[in-house]
Structure 1
Amino acid sequence: MPPEPQREAESLRGSRRSSRRLPRRAAVGRRSFTSTLKALDELAASGAHVSIRITDLDRGTTVLSGDDYLTLPIAGLGVVPLLIEVAAGFESGALDPLEIIERSSVDPVAVAGVWQHLKAPALPLVDLAVLTASTGDALAANALLHRVGLEAVHVRIAQLGLTRTAVLDRVRDERGPDDAPHFALGSANELAEIFAALVNTQTVSPAVSAQVAEWLSLNHDLSLIAASTGLDPFAHENDQHGLLFINKTGRDAGVRVEAGVLAGPRAGVAYALIVCFDDVSIMHRMRAHDAFRTLGVELMEYVH
C-alpha cells in the first residue's frame, strides 16, 4: 500500500482538506456538519481512530473529509468487492447464478447471518449473494469467497484501482496467531468511491453495477448512519419520499463502519465513516454509535 500522506494536525477537524468551516449554501438549506465534527473530534480525543469521507455526487466535490486516507479494519464491508467479483462472474458466464453450494463445504461460523439457522443445507450462488448483502451472513460470504477464491478478489480489487482496500481472509469466529488479524481493510476515501461508482454504473459494467447496487439495497442494517433516514429496514428500495439509498455496514470488536449512497430532492452523496475504538464498556460503544447517527441527521439535512 502507498505511504500515508503527512497529517497537518492531530485533531479530526484539523485534518480536513480545509481548516475553515464548510460554507453554508442557503439554496439547499443547512449544510454544516458542525455536530458531526464535534462528535468525531470527541471520539478522536478519547483515542479512537476516525476516518470520514463525504462526496457530492452531482458535483464530484468533497463535502467533508478527515483522515480519509487511513487504512483501517472494515469488518463486513469487505464483502462489497467480493460481491462485485461474484456479479462480474455472473455477467461473464464464469459463474452460474444457480450453481448449488453445500453449507457443509465451508467451516462453520456463527458471528452473523441466518443461513446457519435455516434447514436448507444448500443454496444457489445468487441466493448466497442476497444473504451476504442483506443480512451480513458470514456463512454465505465464506461460501462465496470459497467458490471464487481469495486471489480472484485480490485481482478484482486491483482492477478497480483500489490501493487501500484488501480482503485478507474468510470470516472467522475467533482469530488465532496464524490467522490474518482482520477479515478486510479499507479507507473511507475508497469506500465512498466504490459506492459512488456503483450508483454511477462505473463498476466493471453497468449490469454489474446495477446488480451489486440491487443486492446492497436489501441491506437490513439501518441502525447506524441510516437510522436517521426513517426507512423501513426490511423494505426500503422503493421509498415514497424519493430517497435513493444503498449501504453496507461492518461490525467487529471495537470497529464500526458504514458506507453508502444517500440521495434526496436537493443533492446526493456517497459517504463512508470508519470508527475504531476501545470497546471496554457499553457507553464507549454507544458514544461511537451516536456519532454515526449524528452524521446521519446532517446527511439528511444535506440531501433535503
Structure 2
Amino acid sequence: MGTPPEPNRAAESQRGSRRSLNRRLPRRAAAGRRSFASTLKALDDLAAAGAKVSVSVTDLDRGTAVLAGDDFVTLPVAGLGIVPLLIEVAAGFESGRLDPLEIIERSSVEPVGVAGVWQHLKAPALPLSDLAVLTASTGDALAANALLARVGLPAVRARIEDLGLQRMALLDQFRDERGPDDAPHFALGSARELAQVFDALVNSQAVSVGVSAQVAEWLSLNHDLSLVASATGLDPFSHENDEHGLLFVNKTGRDAGVRVEAGVLAGPRAGVSYALIVCFDDLSIMHRMRAHEAFRTLGTDLMEYVF
C-alpha cells in the first residue's frame, strides 16, 4: 500500500490557538510520533487477500499527504456519487434555477428500495430541500433519484467537470438490480479526489461559500457512523456540535463487495480530509467484517492524529 509521507516540519500550524499547550504536545512535535502503521497493515492484509484498496489522507493545515495508497485509481464508490449531485442541487438553489420548496411527487420516480426512508413514509411528495436532507442523512436512494431526475445527469456531469474531478463520474441512478443495458455502477471515483472534494467543502471552495456551507450542513447530518466514523464516539443521530470540539463531516457508500467512506475530521491538534475505498469479494460475513475492520482501524489512527 505504501508508507505515510514524512511530516512537513517546516510548516507552521494554523490551529495553535485551539491547543492547550500545558496538556498536549505542540502539533509539530507530536506529528513525528503519530503514524498509520496499523492502517497500513490492515490495508496490506486486505490487498494480499485480493481486495482493491485506495486510500488518501491529507492534512488540512499543510495541504500535504499524510497517507496515500493507490489513491489515483478509479473504483466504484457507490453512494459517494451523491456528493456532486448535492453540490449541483445547492448551486441551483443559490442561483435561483431551483426552488428549494418545489414539490416532487414520489410517484414520478421509479420505485427503488435499496436504501432510505422515503419509501416507508406516508408523505407522497416532498420539497427539493427535504429530499436533499434525506439523501445526505440516510443515503435515501429514492430521494437521490428524485433529485437526479430534477436536475438531470448531464448537469451533474458538467458540475463534476467544473470541480476539476477527472476520475469521478456519476453513471446512473440507483437501481435495485442492474441489467445488461444499465451502467454497471452508480458512480466511480478515486480516493484522492473524494478527499479533495471534502477539503473543498469545509474550506468554502466548492463552487461558492454558500454552496460549500449548504452541502457541508447536509452531509453533517449523515447517520452512518459505522465505518471510519465508528472510532469518533459521536452520536450517529446528533453530532453537529460536539462538546469535545470535534468537527466531523462524512459520507459512506455501500454496494455488493464495495465499501467507501470520505470526509473531514478535525480536532484540537490537527484536521484531515480522508477517503478509503475497498472493493472485495463478499463471500462471507467474515470477508465483510475484515473490510469493515480496516475502516475502523483508519478511524482510530485518524483520531490519534487530530487529538
Question: TM-score, with normalisation over the residues of structure 1?
Answer: 0.93
Deviation at 1:139, TM superposition (A): 0.2
Match runs of 1:154-233 below 5 Å: 154-233=157-236
The one-letter code of the counterpart of 1:146 is: A
Runs of 4+ in 1 over 2 A off after TM superposition: 20-30
Q: Letter of the aligned partner of 1:141 in structure 2?
A: A
RMSD: 1.6
Q: Summarize deviations over 1:94-117 as a string: whole Å, max 9, x none.
A: 000000000000100000000000
Task: Call closer, same or farther: CA 1:21–1:45 in 2, change over 3 Å.
Answer: farther
Any idea what the Cα deviations from partners look like across 1:147-188, whole Å, max 9, x if unmatched? 000000000000001000000000000000000000000000
Aligned residues of 1:30 and 1:302 also touching (Cα < 8 A)? no
Q: Is the 8 A contact 1:25 1:31 kept in 2?
A: no
Per the alignment, residue 104 of structure 2 pairs with 101
1:261 corresponds in structure 2 to 264
> Partners in 1 of 2:50 and 2:32 — Cα distance?
33
User: Could you say what secondary structure the match of 1:146 adopts?
Assistant: helix
Alignment of 1:252 onto 2:273: no
Could you tell me the percent identity over the aligned residues? Answer: 80
- Amino acid in the other structure paired with 2:208: S
Q: 1: distance between equivalents of 2:176 and 2:46? A: 27
Instruction: Please state if 1:59 is matched with 2:62.
Output: yes
Alpha carbons 1:225, 1:295 under 8 Å: kept = yes
- 2:248 counterpart SS class: strand
Alpha-carbon separation, structure 1, partners of 2:4 and 2:252:
25
Is residue 132 of structure 2 the alignment partner of residue 129 of structure 1?
A: yes
2:290 aligned partner, one-letter code: R
Give the Cα–Cα distance (whole angstroms) in 2 for the partners of residues 178 and 60 of structure 1.
Answer: 42
Distance 1:208 1:91 in 2: 7
Q: Determine the C-alpha separation between the residues in 1 that align with 2:173 and 2:294.
A: 29
Task: Give the corresponding residue for 2:290.
Answer: 287
1:231-263 deviation digits (Å, cap 9, x = unpaired): 000000000000000000000000000000000
Gaps of 5+ in 1: 1-11
How much has 1:27 moved relative to structure 2? Answer: 2.9
Contact preservation (8 Å) 1:165, 1:184: yes
- Determine helix, strand or coil for the equivalent of 2:252: strand
How big is each residue's C-alpha offset from its partner over 1:176-218, in whole Å with a ceiling of 9 and x where there is no partner?
0000000000000000000000000000000000000000000
Residue 69 of structure 1: how far off its partner (Å):
0.3
> CA separation in 2, counterparts of 1:25 and 1:38?
25
Aligned to 2:12: none
Q: How many residues are matched?
A: 290
On the 8 A contact 2:80/2:261 being kept in 1, the answer is yes
SS at match of 1:294: helix
Contact (CA 8 Å) 1:168, 1:182: kept in 2 or not?
yes
